[in-house]
């Protein structure tokens, strides 16, 4: 069909669809001759089936009449006017008013155009060249080429490590590449030395103003501890919690270096924090002992002691609630794997390395406890604790509620 005639109908009485269709055929028959008789036009396929939708409001019937037309534009307009000639349905006065004539070909063209736009946008998104990405890659490649091997240990460093009065110490080669990408050329990595500080870095730290810029994780804490023992550190900067220097943006690097604190302030703050943590632990121990004594007095099961968790792990516990996900950590509290709870037992069985902590949004079963124990796990935290027949002595088991 080429066109769609849409008209409103109002009848001063309660009628049905067949009544309206009958009135349309009956009252238009012969008005414009046999050539425009509606039944004849339908038989020849020049108009489609007349559709009527009605609803009753009080004692009146109102609704819509739709007539598909394969006539040309002028004939369709004539047919629309013919519909408006209907003035009664059964014994009741009626009025039909054409609202619009939709050109279905135009609608089809619109759909084709809109679909073409969607296809084109997808092509541009998938195949288009992102100039910024290309330029970033060029800069990265150029900066990578600037890395030098410094000192007897062949440490990765920026080309200005000798020229600058200030030195930035990072953990690895990838950190140096990222720093060079954003223009920091006075950087050096302890690369591959673990927590052992290379002699070259120790020597340079005594000659230059030194900034220790380390990852915001447990590994960064351990390296910083060693740097403070052996190197002459002036300022300490850290990546945001859970992030590594190699993945930081230019803005994040600039912010971290701007917020670098003098080593004296860092040590003072650390001492204060240690004191607060000690007092908090003592208070927790006291509370635990009181609960334990109370529970034993009433013949209840022994209350288990509270367990200290890093802040980012505590936050992960909150985030996991209601997700049906699981997270596995190593002894340095680094995330080893994140998987759906349904796959936890299988994935844990396949792991070749030992694990330290398992947190998941599910029920702690005996099977899981046994597998965790075989991997030398120390902590399991789940949504709920199932009926466990045996608990390894060195495996701490807690529910989310106990951690909260």
> Three-state SS for 340?
strand
Domain of residue 186, CATH code: 3.40.1360.10
Write out the residue range of the structural domain in which residue 345 sits: 311-403
What letter would DSSP give residue 172? S
Does residue 76 form part of some domain? Answer: yes
Residue 232 domain-assigned? Answer: no
Q: What is the pLDDT confidence band of residue 402, given thresholds at 50, 70 and 90?
A: confident
Any idea what the CATH number is for the domain that residue 98 is in? Answer: 3.30.70.2690
What is the residue-wise DSSP string for 222-276? HHHHHHHHHS---EEEEPSTT--GGG--HHHHHHHHHT-EEHHHHHHHHHHHHHH
Confidence (pLDDT) at 10: 94
pLDDT category of residue 13 using cuts at 50, 70 and 90: very high
**Residue 369 sits in a domain of what CATH number?**
3.40.140.20
178 and 83 belong to one structural domain = no
Q: Which of 204, 226, 248 is the last residue of a domain?
A: 226
Residue 399: HSE in the Cβ half-sphere, 13 Å Cα cutoff: 9
Asked if residue 247 is part of any domain, the answer here is no
Question: Are residues 100 and 7 part of one domain?
Answer: yes
Lowest mean pLDDT among 231-235, 294-298, 347-351: 294-298
Q: How many domains does the chain have?
A: 3
Any domain includes 269: no
More confident residue, 209 or 274: 209
| Domain boundary pick from 173, 199, 226 | 226
The reply to whether 296 falls in a domain is: no
Are 385 and 323 in a shared domain?
Answer: yes
169 and 96, same domain (yes or no):
no
CA distance 391 to 380: 11
Residue 388 pLDDT > 90: no
Residues 154 and 63 in one domain: no
**The model scores a pTM over 0.75:** no
Residues 213 and 165 placed together within one structural domain of the fold: yes
Of 374, 378, 269, which Cα lies nearest the Cα of 313? 378
E strands, 36-75, are: 51-57, 60-69
Residues in CB range of 378: below 8 A, 6 or more apart: 356, 357, 394, 395, 396
pLDDT in tens, 374-383: 889 999 999 9
Residue 112 lies in a domain: no
Q: Which residues contact 262 (CB under 8 A, 6 or more apart)?
A: 234, 235
Question: How many angstroms separate the first and last alpha carbons of the chain?
Answer: 67
Backbone φ and ψ for 6, nearest 5 degrees, come out as -115, 125
3-state secondary structure of 299: coil
| pLDDT higher than threshold 90 for residue 129 | no
Tell whether 102 and 141 lie within a shared domain.
no
Residue 97: pLDDT above 90? yes
pLDDT interval class at 264 (50, 70, 90): very high
Domain shared by 92 and 145, yes or no: no
- Which of the pair, 153 or 125, is modelled with greater confidence? 153
pLDDT grade for 204, boundaries at 50, 70 and 90: very high
140 shares its domain with 219: yes
pLDDT at 404: 67
Neighbours of 164 (CB within 10 A): 15
Residue 219 lies in a domain: yes
Average pLDDT over residues 82-92: 91
Query: Both 320 and 392 in a single domain?
Result: yes
Identify whether 293 is part of a domain. no
Task: Report the residue count for the chain.
Answer: 404
Same domain assignment for residues 19 and 83: yes
Q: Is the pLDDT of residue 301 over 70?
A: no
Give the model's pLDDT for residue 398: 92
Report residue 119's pLDDT band, with 50, 70 and 90 as the boundaries: confident
Last residue of a domain, one of 226, 256, 289: 226
- Does residue 125 carry a pLDDT above 70? no
pLDDT over threshold 60, residue 139: yes
Residues 374 and 316 in one domain: yes
């Amino acid at each position: 069909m080429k066109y769609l005639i849409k008209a409103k109908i109002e009848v001063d009485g309660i009628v049905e669809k067949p009544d309206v269709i009958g009135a349309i055929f009956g009252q238009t028959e012969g008005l414009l001759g046999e050539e425009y008789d509606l039944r004849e036009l339908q038989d020849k396929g020049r108009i489609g089936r007349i559709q009527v939708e009605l609803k009753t409001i009080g004692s009146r019937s109102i609704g819509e009449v739709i007539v598909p037309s394969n006539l040309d534009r002028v004939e369709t307009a004539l047919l629309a006017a013919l519909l408006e000639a209907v003035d009664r349905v059964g014994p009741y006065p009626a009025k039909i008013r054409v609202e619009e004539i939709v050109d279905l070909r135009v609608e089809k063209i619109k759909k084709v155009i809109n679909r073409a736009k969607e296809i084109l946008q997808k092509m541009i998104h998938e195949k288009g060249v992102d100039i910024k990405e290309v330029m970033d890659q060029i800069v990265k490649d150029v900066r990578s080429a600037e890395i030098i091997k410094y000192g007897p240990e062949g440490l990765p460093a920026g080309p200005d490590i000798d020229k600058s009065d200030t030195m930035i110490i990072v953990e690895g080669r990838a950190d140096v590449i990222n720093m060079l990408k954003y223009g920091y050329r006075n950087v050096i990595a302890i690369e591959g030395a673990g927590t052992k500080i290379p002699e070259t870095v120790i020597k340079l730290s005594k000659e230059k103003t030194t900034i220790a810029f380390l990852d915001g994780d447990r590994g960064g804490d351990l390296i910083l501890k060693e740097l403070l023992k052996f190197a002459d550190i002036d300022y300490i900067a850290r990546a945001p919690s859970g992030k590594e220097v190699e993945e930081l943006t230019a803005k994040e690097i600039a912010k971290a270096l701007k917020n670098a604190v003098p080593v004296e302030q860092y040590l003072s703050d650390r001492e204060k924090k240690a004191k607060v943590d000690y007092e908090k632990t003592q208070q927790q121990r006291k509370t635990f002992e009181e609960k334990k004594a109370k529970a034993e007095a009433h013949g209840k099961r022994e209350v288990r002691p509270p367990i200290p968790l890093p802040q980012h792990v505590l936050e992960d516990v909150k985030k996991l609630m209601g997700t049906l996900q699981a997270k596995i950590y190593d002894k340095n509290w680094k995330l080893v794997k994140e998987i759906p709870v349904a796959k936890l037992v299988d994935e844990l069985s396949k792991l070749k390395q030992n694990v330290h902590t398992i947190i998941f949004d599910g029920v702690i079963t005996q099977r899981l406890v046994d597998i965790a124990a075989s991997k030398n796990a120390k902590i399991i935290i789940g949504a709920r604790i199932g009926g466990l027949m045996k608990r390894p002595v060195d495996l701490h088991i807690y529910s989310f509620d106990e951690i909260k």
